Structure 1
Amino acid sequence: MENAIQFVQWLRSVAPYIHAFRGKTFVVAFPGELVRAGALPVLAHDLSLLHALGIKVVLVHGSRPQVEEQLGLRNLSARYHNGLRITDAAAMECVKEAAGELRLDIEAAFSQGLPNTPMAHAAIRIISGNFVTARPIGVIDGVDLEFTGIARRIAYETIHPILSAGGLVLLSPLGFSPTGEAFNLTMEDVAVSAATALRADKLIFITETPLLSDSQGYEVRELTAHQADILLHHGNLPADIAFYLQHCVKATRAGVPRVHMVPHNLDGAALLEIFTHDGVGTMISTENLETLREATIEDVGGILKLIEPLEADGTLVKRGRELIEREIEYFSVIEHDGVIFGCAALYPFPAEKMAEMACLTVNPEVQSQGDGERILKHMENRARAAGFDKLFVLTTRTAHWFLKRGFVHASVDALPKDRQHMYNWQRKSQVLIKQL
Structure 2
Amino acid sequence: MTDHNWLHWFRHSSPYINAHRDRVVVITLSGDALAHSNLTPIIHDIALLASLGVRLVIAFGARPQIRERLESAGLESGYQTGLRITSEAQLPLVLEAVGRLRAMLESRLSMGLINSPMHGAQIRVASGNWVTARPIGVIDGVDLEYTGRVRRVDAASVQQQLALGQVVLLPPVGYSATGDAFNLSHEDVAGEAASALDADKLILFTENNGVPGSTGQLVRELSVTQARELLTSKVPEGDDAAALRAAVTACDRGVRRAHIIGYTTDGALLEELFTRDGLGTLVTDENYEHLRTATAEDISAIQELIQPLEERGVLVSRPRELIETEIDRFLVDERDGGIVGCAALYPYPSTGMMELACFAVSDHYRGSGRGDKLLAMAERHARAEGLGELFVLTTQTAHWFIERGFEAAELDRLPPEKDREATRSRNSRIFVKRL
Q: Distance in 2 between matches of 1:132 and 1:329?
A: 55
Contact between 2:209 and 2:281, CA under 8 Å: does it hold in 1?
no
Q: Which residue of structure 1 aligns with residue 38 of structure 2?
A: 39
Q: Which residue of structure 1 aligns with residue 270 of structure 2?
A: 271
Q: Which residue of structure 1 aligns with residue 10 of structure 2?
A: 11
Local SS of the residue matching 1:35: helix
Q: Which residue of structure 1 aligns with residue 176 of structure 2?
A: 177
Matches within 5 A, 1:12-31: 12-31=11-30
Matches within 5 A, 1:159-178: 159-178=158-177
Q: CA deviation at 1:263?
A: 1.1
Cα deviation 1:294-343 (Å, max 9, x = unaligned): xxxxxxxxxxxxxxxxxxxxxxxxxxxxxxxxx99679999xxxxxxx99
Opposite residue 141 of structure 1, the aligned amino acid is D
Opposite residue 90 of structure 1, the aligned amino acid is A
* 1:155 is the counterpart of 2:154: yes
Q: Distance in 1 between matches of 2:170 and 2:182?
A: 13
Q: Which residue of structure 2 aligns with residue 213 of structure 1?
A: 212
Local SS of the residue matching 2:69: helix
Q: Which residue of structure 2 aligns with residue 319 of structure 1?
A: none
Q: Which residue of structure 1 aligns with residue 102 of structure 2?
A: 103
Opposite residue 19 of structure 1, the aligned amino acid is N
Q: Distance in 1 between matches of 2:357 and 2:214?
A: 38
Q: Which residue of structure 1 aligns with residue 221 of structure 2?
A: 222
Contact between 2:212 and 2:235, CA under 8 Å: does it hold in 1?
no
Higher mean C-alpha displacement, 211-220 vs 28-37: 211-220
Q: CA deviation at 1:253?
A: 0.5
Q: Distance in 2 between matches of 1:170 and 1:259?
A: 19
Contact between 1:27 and 1:194, CA under 8 Å: does it hold in 2?
yes
Contact between 1:223 and 1:288, CA under 8 Å: does it hold in 2?
no
Contact between 1:259 and 1:284, CA under 8 Å: does it hold in 2?
yes
Contact between 1:60 and 1:172, CA under 8 Å: does it hold in 2?
yes
Cα deviation 1:201-260 (Å, max 9, x = unaligned): 101111124531212232101100000111111223323322221121111101110011
* 1:124 is the counterpart of 2:137: no
Q: CA deviation at 1:116?
A: 2.1
Q: Distance in 2 between matches of 1:20 and 1:236?
A: 34
Q: Distance in 2 between matches of 1:148 and 1:415?
A: 69
- The change in CA–CA distance for 1:146 and 1:22 in structure 2 (over 3 A counts) is same
Q: CA deviation at 1:408?
A: 6.2
Local SS of the residue matching 1:80: strand
Q: Distance in 1 between matches of 2:23 and 2:424?
A: 51
Matches within 5 A, 1:216-255: 216-255=215-254
TM-score (normalised: structure 2): 0.70
Contact between 1:28 and 1:206, CA under 8 Å: does it hold in 2?
yes
Q: CA deviation at 1:82?
A: 0.4
CA-based RMSD of the aligned residues comes to 3.6
Q: Which residue of structure 2 aligns with residue 65 of structure 1?
A: 64
Cα deviation 1:25-47 (Å, max 9, x = unaligned): 00001100011113332221111
Q: CA deviation at 1:369?
A: 5.4
Q: Which residue of structure 2 aligns with residue 386 of structure 1?
A: none
- The change in CA–CA distance for 1:221 and 1:328 in structure 2 (over 3 A counts) is farther
Opposite residue 265 of structure 1, the aligned amino acid is T
Q: Distance in 2 between matches of 1:23 and 1:136?
A: 35
How many residues are treated as equivalent by the alignment?
340
Q: Distance in 2 between matches of 1:44 and 1:371?
A: 33
Q: Distance in 1 between matches of 2:70 and 2:208?
A: 23
TM-score (normalised: structure 1): 0.70
* 1:407 is the counterpart of 2:418: yes
Which has more radius of gyration? Answer: 1
Opposite residue 407 of structure 1, the aligned amino acid is K
- The change in CA–CA distance for 1:178 and 1:329 in structure 2 (over 3 A counts) is farther
Contact between 1:209 and 1:240, CA under 8 Å: does it hold in 2?
no
Contact between 2:209 and 2:260, CA under 8 Å: does it hold in 1?
no
Contact between 2:411 and 2:420, CA under 8 Å: does it hold in 1?
no
Q: CA deviation at 1:6?
A: 2.8
Cα deviation 1:152-175 (Å, max 9, x = unaligned): 111111111110111111010000
Contact between 2:150 and 2:192, CA under 8 Å: does it hold in 1?
yes
Q: Distance in 2 between matches of 1:215 and 1:284?
A: 16
Q: Which residue of structure 1 aligns with residue 52 of structure 2?
A: 53
Opposite residue 125 of structure 1, the aligned amino acid is R
Cα deviation 1:99-158 (Å, max 9, x = unaligned): 111011000101110122221111111011111111111111111000001111111111
Q: Which residue of structure 2 aligns with residue 297 of structure 1?
A: none
Opposite residue 199 of structure 1, the aligned amino acid is D
Matches within 5 A, 1:367-382: 370-372=387-389, 374-375=390-391
Q: Distance in 2 between matches of 1:235 and 1:137?
A: 23
Q: Which residue of structure 2 aligns with residue 91 of structure 1?
A: 90
Q: Which residue of structure 1 aligns with residue 189 of structure 2?
A: 190
Contact between 1:333 and 1:343, CA under 8 Å: does it hold in 2?
no
Q: CA deviation at 1:286?
A: 1.1
Opposite residue 154 of structure 1, the aligned amino acid is V
Local SS of the residue matching 1:402: coil
The unaligned stretches of length 5 or more in structure 2 are 292-311, 317-341, 345-353, 360-378, 395-408, 429-435
Contact between 1:40 and 1:109, CA under 8 Å: does it hold in 2?
no
Local SS of the residue matching 2:16: helix
- The change in CA–CA distance for 1:330 and 1:161 in structure 2 (over 3 A counts) is farther
